Structures are given as structure tokens and as C-alpha cells.
Structure 1
Amino acid sequence: MKIIIPMAGRGSRLRPHTLTVPKPLIPIGGKPIVQRLAEDITKLSDEKVEEIAFIIGDFGAEVEAQLLGIAEKLGAKGTIYHQEEPLGTAHAIWMAEQSLSGPVVVAFADTLFRANFHLDMNSDGVVWVKKVEDPSAFGVVKLDAYGVIEDFVEKPKEFVSDLAIIGIYFFKDGQNLREEIKYIMDNEIQGNGGEYQLTDALENMRAKGKKFTLGPVDEWMDCGNKAATVDTNGKILGFEKEEFANVPKSAQISNSLIIPPCFIGENVVIENSKIGPYVSLGNGTKVVNSNIDNCLIQEKCVIDHGNLTGSMIGNHAQYFGVSRNISLGDYSVLDFKNKD
């Protein structure tokens, strides 16, 4: 089986954190989003994963090496494809045309999940969905009276269904998907915004007799903006408590209280502080005289006199200050102690 992960988007809703780091590489509980996604699919699947293909923008050689390393750790071949223009979800998948054969999972790298990941080999594909309050922002599936998918609709303006597609799909034969995407692109069948949408390819496949079943989702965790990403970080810490049970020996903790679950990275320094619950502190971060809960703080930061909750702080950032809910990007400095 192959996993195809489109991740070329700019992540504009998560700025300033995505100005220097691609959104799928933002850490959740100490691991990049895309790594957790690939691990979850590999762990939950009955099939051996032979290849993981990443569809990226111009992210640079260092990021490409990191992605190939993720695949290698999972015992799979890593492949890199590039999407130079954002022309839609179907177009993104088309960039991995050479990998679209045999059993394929397509998973967009802006979401994490908890689901029954059974791959139904008696159908042509599986679409994982979650009921939402406002389906107008999502692709949705419409069911007939027997619970069978009878329509795929991209961002419906009028109510069609509240079963939102979470961005994870299984195809028993990726070649069928490849042929359908090629068809809609050759015939310039474009959806919202003039883009080539995966839902159009799925609807054409269904109309030609392909059978798709639903994959139920227990938890769908979005990483689209700062608040959602901080919330997802907390949920992952709660779900994977055993993973975060131990503080690394390299951490230096004095006169401080850590309330689990928390992720504490290597060489973290914590002095005169209360940390947790639901806090991630990246490698090399220093926290002194602070009270922090429900926060995502990345690598090599300095937090002094912080009283923070619901905050997200980027790499190499420095915060000296007062009580505040903040979103501080990489290499930023916010100093309320020195007002000169």
C-alpha cells in the first residue's frame, strides 16, 4: 500500500508560524503534524506501507530530507513530488501520478484523527467523514436511503449533508483515481475558484459504478489556525499519555511543578514555574518564573515571567512579560519588562 500526502499549501491561516516553517512540520506533542499523520495511518492499517509520497511546494532540501527520514523510520520508501501552482486538491494529487497505482491512501496533511481505519477491500474506496455544524466550508457526502454514498459535493452553498470529508481516503486501485483526475483536467472540469477538485473526480467514479463506503471518525483534529492547533496539541497529549509520561534526563527542572500530560523536549530548562496541563515545550526551551497551561511552545524559546494559556510560540522566540494569550512567531521578541 502507498500513502500520498499533499502538503504544498501555504498555511496562511496559521501565520506567523508558517512564514518560516511549512504547516505540516509544525510540531504537535513534539512531532511534526505530517509525521503523526503518517504514523497513525501506518499503525492503524492492516496493509504494509511500501511508499509514502509527499507533495510539497518549494520547501528546500532540508525539509525534503526530513520528510524522507519520516518515511524511512516507518519502513517505507519516501518520494518527493512538487506542486508549483495551487490548482486544487485533484491537481495536487495528480503531481504524484507515478505513485497512483495499487492500494492507495490519500491523506491531506492539515488534520489528525482518531478513527476505525479498516480498509474495506470489498469496495472501491473508503471516505472518512465527520458530522459538522457548518458543512458549507467542506466537501461533503450525500447518502441515499440505504446509507450508500450517492453524491460528493464541494463546499455546498445550500444544505446537502452535514457529513464532512475530513481529507483521508482509501482507493483499492489508485489507477482508477489517476484516470479520473486526468479526465477532469484534460476536459478542464473546474469547481469552486477555478480549481480541480477531488470531489469531482470522486463523483465521476461513483457515477461510473465505483462503490465507496464510509469510514467513521471518532475525533477529527484540525490544525488550520492558531486556536485549533493549540487545541489539537492538547488533545494529542491527552490521547497519548504514555508517550509523554517521562521527562528526558537532559531536562533541568528546579523548584517547579509539571502537571501532566505535557511534552518536555530535550535540554529544556524549567525554573520556579508551573507547567501544565496540556503544554508542549520544544527542545532547548527555557522557562523561568512562569505559569503556563494549554500552550504550544516550540524549540529554543525563552519564557520569563509568562502567565500564558491558549498560546502558541514559535522557534527561537523570546517572551518577557505579563498575562496574555499570544501567538508569537519564530525569532520574535516580546518584552513587557523592559519598556525603554
Structure 2
Amino acid sequence: MKALVLSGGAGTRLRPITHTSAKQLVPVANKPVLFYGLESLAAAGVTEVGMIVGDTAAEIEEAVGDGSKFGLRVTYIPQEHPLGLAHAVLIAHEFLGDDDFVMYLGDNFIVGGISGLVDEFRETRPDAQILLTHVPNPRAFGVAELDADGQVIGLEEKPQEPKSDLALVGVYLFTPAIHDAVRAIKPSWRGELEITHAIQHLIDQRADVRSTVIKGYWKDTGNVVDMLEVNRTVLEGQEPRIDGEVDEASQIVGRVVVEAGARVTNSRIVGPAVIGAGTVVGDSYVGPFTSIAENCRITESELEFSIVLRDSSIDGVGRIESSLIGRHVEVTPATGTPSAHRLVLGDHSKVQIRS
């Protein structure tokens, strides 16, 4: 079995962060979202990976390399324009050949991995197997309709009148039967070849299409709220570790990771939280569910339930919460602003805030 990992797309819901960075490489718990998916594939025994890349190809290739650090062999497949998930399957046919494969959306996050699903598919080999989960806003997703026996009888992409609350999770398993299906469909009103249409074609041809409703945690990390929520979930499962320096005037409470080369002085860190390598935290409070990446500087500030990307500084701004702060950002005091702040800052931003 092979894998097809989608790591293109514009990431419009995470702008301005994704103006200068691939959405799949935005970190949660100081590790890119994409890496969690690649690790899940390796754990499931899938080693041959075709990676669909677009405008951010150079950044993705630099981060992933040949895949060997994940125990994978990665082949990069360029997609000039994001023309839909089924289009990705279409252009990857030469790589996939006649092998079964798992298609994994690189900005999706599934707690517990996909090993059980892959094992089940290998044993039963339906023409297609999809993952579903109950969501409160099915209009934002591909939605499945099941009959009384739980059989998939219909799929719709972002329907105005959903027939269920079962959304497709960004992991699909296929036999080579899907190749005829993606060639048979036409672009949707969005101008894209929809994978839901290809799977519906299989259903219409009486192919064996099965579904699994997952009980565990799943998120599409395409927006700031979901990114912060995934960060919270990952941090809750981490083991505490102090490899950097923490002075006697500081207090570390709960599941806190201080990476090697980091330094904490006269500060209080309440976990779960992670302080990246080379980062300095001084005279500050870092609260639960916060990830601070490498080479940052936090001084005379409070930070909670937030993600700070590398090489950024926050100095004397009082309290920041529920925020995603990009790379090379400078946050400093200014007059006339409230003492509580919620920020979404792109890379190389400069913001002045009054504490």
C-alpha cells in the first residue's frame, strides 16, 4: 500500500500566516501539523509516499526531505493549481500505479493515528473506505448519507441542506478502482474535481464503498480556532521535561517542556506548555496550552492558550491569549489599547501594544 499526501493549497483561512508559510507546516506543540500525519503513515506500515505540492513546494521539500527521518520514501508530485482532491489522484496515477493507497490531507490531525483503519482495509479491501465524524456545521464539509444499515448511499460537497451531520475526515482508502472514477467525473461549480463526486460515481456503479465513524479526536487545522484547539490537545498528552535552564526565582507547574538551550528567569510557567530551544522567558507568566517555538523572547508579559512561531519577541505587553503569532514578529507596548488582546499576526509583523 502507498500513500498520497496532499500538501498544497493556499491556506486562505490561516492568512496572514500562510502568506509566507505553508499551512501544513504551521506547528502545534512546536511540530508541524504535516509531521504528525507522516508519522501516522509510518506507524501504519506505509512507506511509499507521493506528496502533492503547489506554490509552497520548496518549503515543504526542505522540511520533509526524502522522508527518511520519518521512515518513509517520499516522491514529490507538483500540482500547478489546486483543482480538487480528485485531480490530485488523477495526476498521481503514474506514482500510484495499481497499488491500493491511503489519501491523507496534510493539514488534518487525528489523535491515535490510522493504523487500525489501514489494517482493516488491508483485510477486507472494499473499493473505497471513508472516515466520518459527527460535526455541528456539516455545510462546511463533504457530507455522507447512510442508510439504515450504515451503508454509504450518497455524498455531497458542502451542501446547503445537509442530509446528515456526518462529515468526511481527510483520510480516504482506495483500491485502483478510484482511477476510473476520477476520470469519469466533471469539475464541480467550484471548478474542481471533487473526491466526493468520484466516490459517488463508485456508489452509482455499485462498488463496495464502506465507512467508519471515528470516535476519537479529529480536526481540520485550516483556521486559527482549530489550530489552537489541536495545540491544546497535543500538549495535554506530553510528558514534562526540563532540558534548558530554569532559575530559582522561577516556578514550573504541571506538564511543562523546556527544550535544551531555553532559559527561564523569574517567571511562572503553568503547563501544559512548551518552551522551544533557544527561547528566553523572563519576568513573565506563560499559562496552559501555550507553545513557544525556538529562539523567541518573552519578557514582562503574560501569555496563555496561544502559539508563538520562531524568532518572535513579546515585550511588556501585559496579557495575550487565544492568539497565533507568526515568525519574526515583534510585539511591544503602545498607548491607547486594552490590557487584554487577541492577535493573529503574520510573519515579520510589528505591533505596538499598551500593557
CA distance, structure 2, for counterparts of residue 214 and residue 242 of structure 1: 38
Identity of aligned residues (%): 29
Cα distance change of structure 1 residues 240 and 93 upon mapping to structure 2, 3 Å threshold: farther
Amino acid at match of 2:320: L
Q: CA deviation at 1:60?
A: 4.7
CA RMSD across the alignment: 2.0
The answer for the alignment partner of 1:213 in structure 2 is 210
Amino acid at match of 2:225: A
CA distance, structure 2, for counterparts of residue 312 and residue 303 of structure 1: 13
Q: CA deviation at 1:309?
A: 0.5
Cα distance change of structure 1 residues 106 and 131 upon mapping to structure 2, 3 Å threshold: same
The answer for the alignment partner of 1:305 in structure 2 is 316
The answer for the alignment partner of 2:188 in structure 1 is 191
Amino acid at match of 1:13: R
CA distance, structure 2, for counterparts of residue 248 and residue 110 of structure 1: 25
Q: CA deviation at 1:337?
A: 5.4
Q: CA deviation at 1:233?
A: 1.3
CA distance, structure 2, for counterparts of residue 110 and residue 76 of structure 1: 18
Contact 2:259 2:275 in 1 (8 A): yes
Contact 2:41 2:47 in 1 (8 A): no
Residues 45-124 of structure 1: matches in 2 within 5 Å? 45=44, 48-69=45-66, 71-100=67-96, 101-114=98-111, 117-119=116-118, 120=120, 121-122=123-124, 123-124=126-127
Structure 2 residue matching 1:284: 3-state secondary structure? coil
CA distance, structure 2, for counterparts of residue 250 and residue 201 of structure 1: 50
Matched, 1:319 2:336: no
The answer for the alignment partner of 1:223 in structure 2 is 221
Q: CA deviation at 1:300?
A: 0.7
Structure 2 residue matching 1:129: 3-state secondary structure? strand
Contact 2:145 2:153 in 1 (8 A): yes
Amino acid at match of 2:88: A
Amino acid at match of 1:229: M
Structure 2 unmatched ranges of 5 or more: 242-254, 334-338
Bigger mean CA deviation after superposition, 314-323 or 12-21: 314-323
The answer for the alignment partner of 1:151 in structure 2 is 154
Matched, 1:17 2:13: no
Cα distance change of structure 1 residues 273 and 245 upon mapping to structure 2, 3 Å threshold: closer
Contact 2:274 2:291 in 1 (8 A): yes
Structure 1 unmatched ranges of 5 or more: none
Contact 1:222 1:232 in 2 (8 A): no
Structure 2 residue matching 1:305: 3-state secondary structure? strand
CA distance, structure 2, for counterparts of residue 305 and residue 222 of structure 1: 34
The answer for the alignment partner of 1:272 in structure 2 is 283
The answer for the alignment partner of 1:7 in structure 2 is 7
CA distance, structure 2, for counterparts of residue 267 and residue 7 of structure 1: 29
Q: CA deviation at 1:199?
A: 0.7
Cα distance change of structure 1 residues 260 and 142 upon mapping to structure 2, 3 Å threshold: same
CA distance, structure 2, for counterparts of residue 132 and residue 212 of structure 1: 21
Encode CA deviations 1:164-191: one digit per residue, 9 max, x unaligned.
00111112x2x2212221222xxxx222
Cα distance change of structure 1 residues 152 and 336 upon mapping to structure 2, 3 Å threshold: closer
Contact 2:54 2:82 in 1 (8 A): no
Contact 1:241 1:261 in 2 (8 A): no
Cα distance change of structure 1 residues 73 and 290 upon mapping to structure 2, 3 Å threshold: same
Cα distance change of structure 1 residues 65 and 98 upon mapping to structure 2, 3 Å threshold: farther
Q: Number of aligned pairs?
A: 328
The answer for the alignment partner of 2:237 in structure 1 is 239
Contact 1:54 1:67 in 2 (8 A): no
Structure 1 consecutive aligned stretches of length 4 or more whose deviation exceeds 4 Å: 241-245
